[in-house]
Amino acid sequence: MSPHEIGLYASAAAVVGSGLRLLVLAVGPAGGSAAAGRPGEVLAVVRAALARRPWVTVTLFAVMAVLAVLQYAVPAVVDDLMRQPGALSDGQWWRAGTALLVQSSGLGQIAMNLPALLVVGAVAEAVLGWWRTLAVFLVSGVLAHVVSLAGWSPRGGGDSVAVCGLLGALAVTCLLRGDLRGPAFKANWFVLLVPAAALVLCAMENNHGAGLLAGCLLGLAVAPGTFGTAGRSQPVTP
């Protein structure tokens, strides 16, 4: 296994592992701990977030599901919407947006990306609110595809880069509200793995790093306005 592959897999493991715990921490009490992020805890948090009817997340999921069916019924849809080499020089800038709509690697990508969108999106919407969730999803996703088109990965498509953006925004939200201050640092240090993985992946020119980094930067902008003077959103009670 090459150093590049080791770095890629290590970053992916860090994002997934810390991301699951982050979902619990993001909706927990101020200064609290995400504990071990056990499956039961994550499931309880996600169910509670879905019970709040996150309409933006559900709408995005429905759109992606319809496109997933459509791309198998009409395979040409994938080529028509995904990133293509030379698209920017040909004036096809719109592909940076439409590439979010198709999963160019097929069934495996669909099976991973759509559930991830539903889970992460529901929690993000409960914490950030609907319009901030939509803004982070679209801006981080489009920026990641722009970077890809510019040379990192000119061919492809998928919404995982935008889901990474939501994770980045949640991580920064936890940092800004003080979940790593004082004694809470020992339990919640894993939050730092998200921006760290973003930098590593960007150094490797992986577009998921661009999505994560964009989400982290957007989190700096949206988190203070989200939580107001108290610095907290309303907790999601499992």
How confident is residue 229, by pLDDT bands cut at 50, 70 and 90? very low
Q: For 170, what's the count of Cα atoms within 13 Å in the CB-facing half-sphere? A: 34
Measured CA to CA, the distance from residue 209 to residue 94 in angstroms comes to 21
Q: Provide the pLDDT for residue 237.
A: 53
189-221 burial string, b = 16+ CB within 10 Å, else e?
A: ebbebbbbbbebbbebebbbbbbbbbbbbbbee
Tens of pLDDT, residue by residue over 58-67, are 999 999 999 9
Stretch 10-35: mean pLDDT, rounded? 75
Can you give the pLDDT at residue 220?
92
Provide the token pair at 76.
């040409």
The mean per-residue pLDDT over the stretch 34-50 comes to 80
Indicate if the pLDDT at residue 226 is higher than 70.
Answer: no
Segment 53-82 mean pLDDT: 96
Main-chain dihedrals φ then ψ at residue 207, nearest 5 degrees: -65, -20
Confidence of residue 37 (pLDDT cuts 50, 70, 90): low
Asked whether residue 77 carries a pLDDT value surpassing 70, the answer given is yes
The pair phi, psi for residue 87, each rounded to 5°, is: -60, -40
**H-type alpha helices, 177-206:** 184-188, 193-203
Contacts of 46 (CB under 8 A, 6+ apart): 23, 119, 122, 123
Mean pLDDT of 131-138: 97
